[in-house]
Amino acid sequence: MKFRTLPGTDLQLSAVGMGCWAIGGKWWGDDVDDRRAIAAIGAAVDHGINWFDTAPLYGHGHADELLVRALGARRHEVVIATKVGVRFRGGEGHAYSDLSPDHIVADCEASLRRLRLETIPLLQVHWPCERDTPLEATLEALMALQEGGKIRHFGLCNYGSKPLERALAHAPELACLQTPYSMVRREFEYALREVAAPAGEQRLGVLAYETLCRGLLTGKFSATPPRFPESDLRHRDARFQEPGFSRVQPLLAALRLVAGKLNLTPAALAIAWVLRQPGVSVAIVGAKSPEQVADNVRAVDAMLRHKVWEALAPHIDRARL
């Protein structure tokens, strides 16, 4: 495993982190089970993954409970990065972002209890406010939690470049941005390159998610669009439907070819590509099983294969969705 330090922090994170959304057991189909999820978390630690991205929303707390069950006391040795701000009602109720200082504090306290931690290593705002709280008030609440020792660092998820600039101006302590980024999803490149790492100087960490485009870039879905059960959010994801699905096939064919020659997998190449991009600190990769984890950590080997990227570049450029 390779490790990268988030600028201005003591957080030394494995290049590949484990995303815990799917193992929460909601919105990712009918093949999620706790036993495999716990095995996947154990495999992640065995492979050198030292951080886990979770959220209260993931299985409405169930992902957190699995982390505690799987890691036991080891949860103090890894970095648990969780999120704050989302309110949800009932089993399938609508979720929305309430970033009022009171809710930030209450939500953080609930995570501390659920994760059985005294301090959360990294607390990230899950998505921008859908109520009327100014960004500065939210940042003040996060800074107060940091000063009070409830969290070590804080970050933002899913913010664009303008609010990110505004946040950095008000709270230079801001540790990181979490943003979607992959070979096929590149609209946040401006924020990565111009705000997070202008002129090559990294101002804040970037945690890239959806690095496999929800599994599409593993190449496991064959020539026709897959059918997902309604319980799987990919059932409604346009990237798994036409015309997007066909658009990405030439890239997948190229990834399969190159991966086959290198004894790697398309997944490892897709994650490695993200890790090689300027501005990206680390990749969050979701996994439901130990086998998927073992496959994904090979991205670290793939990163070192310098010759393949030139050959893949034209395919990547044509496959944006």
Ligand X SMILES: NC(=O)c1ccc[n+]([C@@H]2O[C@H](COP(=O)([O-])OP(=O)(O)OC[C@H]3O[C@@H](n4cnc5c(N)ncnc54)[C@H](OP(=O)(O)O)[C@@H]3O)[C@@H](O)[C@H]2O)c1
Interface residue list for ligand X (CB under 6 A): 19-22, 28-29, 53, 126-127, 157-158, 178, 209-215, 218, 220, 267, 284-288, 292, 295-296
Which DSSP symbol is given to 182? B
Shortest approach of ligand X to residue 200 CB, angstroms? 26
Q: Output the smallest distance, CB 174 to ligand X, in A.
A: 15
- Identify which of residues 64 and 295 has a Cβ nearer to ligand X in the complex: 295
Q: What is the DSSP letter of 185?
A: B
DSSP H helices, 158-307, are 161-170, 189-190, 244-247, 249-262, 266-276, 290-296, 299-303
Nearer of residues 61 and 215 to ligand X, judged by Cβ:
215
Catalytic residues: 58
Q: What is the CA radius of gyration of the chain?
A: 19
In whole angstroms, the minimum distance from the beta carbon of 132 to ligand X comes to: 21
- Comparing CB distances to ligand X, the nearer of 198 and 244 is 244
Least distance to ligand X, CB of residue 237, Å:
10
Nearer to ligand X, 267 or 300 (CB): 267
Residue 261: CB minimum distance to ligand X, A? 18
Beta bridge partners of 4: 13
Nearer to ligand X, 74 or 220 (CB): 220
Dist CA 135 CA 163 (whole Å): 8
> Which tokens hold the place of 224?
């026709």
Q: Distances from the Cα of 140 to the Cαs of 89, 136, 144, in angstroms?
A: 26, 6, 6
- What is the identity of the amino acid at 197? A
Contact status, residue 276 vs residue 177, Cβ threshold 8 Å: no
| Residue 257, C-beta contacts closer than 8 angstroms, at least 6 positions apart | none
Inter-CA distances, 63 with 177, 282, 296, Å: 21, 21, 20
Q: Which position's Cβ is nearest ligand X?
A: 19
Nearer to ligand X, 147 or 291 (CB): 291
Q: How far apart are CA 179 and CA 282, in angstroms?
A: 11
DSSP three-state, residue 155: strand
